[in-house]
Amino acid sequence: MTGDRGLILLIEDEPQMRRFLRVTLQSRGYELIEASSGEDGIAQSATRKPDVILLDLGLPDLDGLEVLGRMREWSQTPVIILSAREQEQDKIRALDAGADDYLTKPFSAGELLARIRVALRHQVMHEGQTEPVFVQDTLRVDLAKRRVFLKESEIHLTPIEYRLLAYLIKNAGKVITHRQLLKEVWGPAYANQAHYVRVYMGMLRHKLEEDPSRPRFFINEPGVGYRLRFEVPPEQDS
């Protein structure tokens, strides 16, 4: 079954990390290409056309952000950043520069696989398919009719609340930075007014979450942004 789920490029210089990821990913049916340096990674991504790229930010030869920038010049392949905890600013910069998601080391195999599934799903949706109705748990959003339901009862949202929710649904499962949300929902002039997102996310939480202080849908990634929880079941892809 090796390789039929997708081709993953891993750009990582630590041999231990590569071994762990090789075993984990191959056992789950992904085909893996390994690159131990930024230059090698860029070359591999051009020749092998992977479905998902896992990129470590701390590479010996090139800055991870530079690797990302050079790949983004010609490719829209989903990139998941692997980084240490102290690099919050780098994470945000990478996300704003076009990375799709990030994982903080140390992470579990389960988290990694979930992110890869989300990335692959978005990759598929990029190619034309759109889902008219978003369903996650008790939340149901009819994107065509612009109606939001929680456990069958309809919830009324303001236009901005709805735009915010719709953008999160479009990127379901992926982390979106404050900046990205502000630019998409309020416009570029609001790019540095993070408190707007915070207030509206609070309003969404209070309308759509059962317990707003223990949200199930709107996951806060402190210092980075938000993520709409979206589980892609492992079976779905096969």
Partner 1 sequence: MEELRPDPDLLLDQMRRETERSREGQLKIFFGAAPGVGKTYAMLEAAHKKISEGVDVIVGLVETHGRKETEALIEGLEIMLRRSIEYRGAVLKELDIDAALARKPSIILVDELAHSNAEGSRHKKRWQDIYELLGAGITVYTTMNVQHLESLNDVVTQITGINVRETVPDFLLERADEIELIDIPPEDLLQRLAEGKVYVAELAVQARRNFFRKGNLLALRELALRRTAEQVDEQMQSYRRGKGVKEVWPAAERILVCIGPSPFATRLIRAAKRMAAGLRADWIAVNVEAPGKVRPSENDIKGLADNMRLAEGLGAETLVLSGHTASEAILDYARSRNVTKIIVGKPTHPRWKDMIFGSLLDELVRGSGDIDVYVISGDSRESMPHPAVKAGTAKVPARDWIISVAAIAGCTASAALMFRRFELVDIAMIYLLGVIFTASRTHRGPAILASLLSVAAFDFFFVPPFYTFVVHQKSYYVTFIVMFIVAFVTSRLTFRVREQAEAARRRERSTAALYRLSRELVHERGLEQLSAIATKHISTVFSQNTVILIPDDQGRLLTPAGEPESFVLDERELSVAQWAFGHRQKVGRGTDTLPGAKGLYMPLVASSRTVGVIGIRSDDAAGSFEPEQIHVLENFAHQVAMAFERALLAEEAQHAVLKAETESLRNTLLSSLSHDLRTPLAAITGSSTTLLHQDDVLDRHSRRELIFTIIEEAEHLNRIVRNVLDMTRIESGAITVKKEWLPIEEIVGSVLNRMAEKLIEHPFTTKIPKDLPMAPFDPLLIEQVLMNLLENAVRYTPAGTVIELSASVEDDELLVELADYGPGIAPGDEEQIFEKFVRGPAAAGGIGLGLTICRAIINAHGGRIWAENRKGGGVVFRFALPISEHPPVVETDEETVRFIS
- State the residues that interact with partner 1 by CB under 8 A: 85-86, 88, 106, 145-147, 156-160, 162, 193-196, 198-203, 205-206, 211-215, 219-223
Compute the least distance from the CB of residue 144 to partner 1, in Å: 11
Smaller CB distance to partner 1: residue 153 or 238?
153
Smaller CB distance to partner 1: residue 15 or 202?
202
Smaller CB distance to partner 1: residue 8 or 112?
112
Residue whose token pair is 């392949």: 77
Per the CB < 8 A criterion, the answer to whether 83 and 57 are in contact is yes
Compute the least distance from the CB of residue 204 to partner 1, in Å: 11
Compute the least distance from the CB of residue 235 to partner 1, in Å: 23
Q: What gap in Å lies between CA 51 and CA 80, rounded to an integer?
A: 11
Smaller CB distance to partner 1: residue 49 or 198?
198
- CB-neighbour burial class of residue 71 (10 A; exposed 0-12, middle 13-18, buried 19+): buried
Label the pairing between strands 147-150 and 139-142: antiparallel
Compute the least distance from the CB of residue 147 to partner 1, in Å: 8
Smaller CB distance to partner 1: residue 59 or 204?
204
Please tell me whether residue 22 adopts helix, strand or coil conformation: helix
Q: What gap in Å lies between CA 22 and CA 233, rounded to an integer?
A: 21
184, 177, 7, 178: which is closest to 78 by C-alpha? 7
Compute the least distance from the CB of residue 60 to partner 1, in Å: 22
